Structure 1
Amino acid sequence: MLAEHLEEELKVSRSVVREAVRVLQSLGLVETIKRVGIRVLPSSRWNPFDPLVIRWRLAGEGRGAQLRSLAELRTAVEPVAAELAAANAPQELRQELVEISHAMRDAGQAGDVPRFLELDILFHSLLLTGSGNEMFANMVGQVTETLTGRTVHGLMPDHPRETALQWHVDVAEAIAAGDTAAAREASDRIMRETIAEMEPSWKNQPRVFVPVERH
């Protein structure tokens, strides 16, 4: 598709089209080819870690598959991050995690969904950054979009299970105590419970197999 066609169809200026295409290119969704125009790329070429791509996929028909990919990624990373945080996190962060986990439990029991979401995002963000691993810390955006998307699309209960609320407290207190094994185990319980709850949403959703580049 040529940019001129988009201008005519959408009734926008050339500069607006160029900026939109630039953003879509940065996400891996399209590419521009000289004398050909704009080509939409297959999903295997998209940047799956970009929060904008995650948000867009969560709002569409591929929501289940996106939730599965994110849940599996978090299951692989967050228990390790909890273990590392128990070993490495600054004292102030440890104490803040404990305070947040108790506030989460209060908000969850009260059915205060907006407050619970805010605290849930902060809890998992601190968990990742507290690991001392800058690559884990850069997953904060993905986790934020996951938790927000689940809430926005009605996939989070108004009153989370009491066991799940307690597991967040267990993670925080294990990190505060420097108990690496207990922190990892409690975080793993949270993630496995999340997968068990969400699994029906991605039943029969196809997986994306990204081709390996061969040189």
Structure 2
Amino acid sequence: MADVEDPSTGPAVNQPIGGRTAGGNLHESLLNAVGTDIVTGALAPGTVIRAEELRVRYEVSLSVVREVVRVLESLGMVKPIRRLGLVILSMQEWTILDPLVVRWRMVATPAVQLRSLTELRVAIEPQAAYLAAIHASVDAAEEIMRLAARMRASGSKGDVEAVLDVDIAYHRAVLRAGGNELFASFDTVVAEILRGRTQAGLMPKYPHPDALQWHFDVADAIGNGDPDRAHAAMTKMMDRAFTEMEDAWEGQPRLRTY
């Protein structure tokens, strides 16, 4: 049998949040608390819990609980069953690429989540660059080149946060430039990957010169309508990103997805 990630090793169920809020918002606090409990396995698949239990456990009103349940249901994480309560659903049912789910999993199992997302990114972004070189407008291509220049300037100063912000904007621009709405929607996932990488201390203070050059190479290829060169340069960029991070998930079991 293949190795399977054990979500039961996550932290214990969250403590009451009635005395504190995230950003002053009880709805957001409860949503994050319950969402995190589900992805860590503190609320395991098959668990049945009633709205009243959530109200007591987290010290919030039933109206807040109902709002949160609606969001979790839309994410495929819970299923209300009349006269029974809320059934916690397995990962196979979740909207796995929703930014909220990505963020909660990044907290619960950061190494495993980074691996899964990076493997997906390696598959998608070179093709996105290829399409951008064919379909990008002049304005979009010029913006990608401007962002590559800004990234080099920020990288030379060792400003990790500035590099992160520009890098997110750069990859968002490439993903959107090809005119594929599914690739464009992947930009929020890439943003979470890049933030998670930085928060895990896996982003060097000074980006490698090759990585900065590849950003320029992709931008130049897009501007000149050369899809093969754009694909090749983005592939180099993705391969380096994968290599720089793979030690973080070494030895982590693969997930059971069947």
Shorter chain as denominator, the TM-score bin is: over 0.9
Equivalent-residue separation in structure 2 for 1:69 and 1:15 (angstroms):
35
Equivalent-residue separation in structure 1 for 2:142 and 2:83 (angstroms):
59
| Residues 81-160 of structure 1 aligned to structure 2 (within 5 Å) | 81-160=128-207
1:184 aligns with 2:240: no
* Higher deviation after alignment, 163-172 or 20-29: 20-29
Q: Secondary structure at the match of 1:146?
A: helix
TM-score where L is the length of structure 1: 0.93
The sequence identity of aligned pairs, in percent, is 46
Partner of 1:171: 218
Given residue 146 of structure 2, which amino acid in structure 1 is its aligned partner?
E
Given residue 194 of structure 2, which amino acid in structure 1 is its aligned partner?
L
Q: Secondary structure at the match of 2:165?
A: helix
Q: Is the 8 A contact 1:44 1:208 kept in 2?
A: no
Residue 153 of structure 1 deviates from its aligned partner by: 2.9
Which string of whole-angstrom CA distances, capped at 9 and with x for unpartnered residues, describes residues 149-188 of structure 1? 2222322111111111111111111111111111000000
**Bigger relative contact order (CA 8 A; separation at least 6):** 1
Equivalent-residue separation in structure 1 for 2:248 and 2:86 (angstroms):
33
Q: Is the 8 A contact 2:114 2:196 kept in 1?
A: no
Q: Is the 8 A contact 2:218 2:230 kept in 1?
A: yes
- Please, which runs of 5 or more residues in structure 2 have no aligned partner? 1-48
Q: Is the 8 A contact 1:32 1:38 kept in 2?
A: yes
* Higher deviation after alignment, 94-103 or 37-46: 37-46
TM-score where L is the length of structure 2: 0.78
1:29 aligns with 2:81: no
Equivalent-residue separation in structure 2 for 1:27 and 1:155 (angstroms):
29
Structure 2 counterpart of 1:16, from 57, 64, 79: 64
Equivalent-residue separation in structure 1 for 2:69 and 2:193 (angstroms):
25
Partner of 1:74: 121
Equivalent-residue separation in structure 2 for 1:149 and 1:198 (angstroms):
11
- Please, which runs of 5 or more residues in structure 1 have no aligned partner? none
Given residue 219 of structure 2, which amino acid in structure 1 is its aligned partner?
A
Q: Is the 8 A contact 1:83 1:180 kept in 2?
A: yes
Partner of 1:54: 102
Structure 1 counterpart of 2:252, from 181, 202, 205: 205
1:43 aligns with 2:91: yes
Equivalent-residue separation in structure 1 for 2:107 and 2:253 (angstroms):
17
Given residue 189 of structure 2, which amino acid in structure 1 is its aligned partner?
Q
Which string of whole-angstrom CA distances, capped at 9 and with x for unpartnered residues, describes residues 112-149 of structure 1? 12211111011000101111111111111111111122
Equivalent-residue separation in structure 2 for 1:69 and 1:45 (angstroms):
17
Residue 210 of structure 1 deviates from its aligned partner by: 2.6
Partner of 2:55: 7
Residue 31 of structure 1 deviates from its aligned partner by: 1.7
* Higher deviation after alignment, 167-176 or 146-155: 146-155
Aligned length: 210
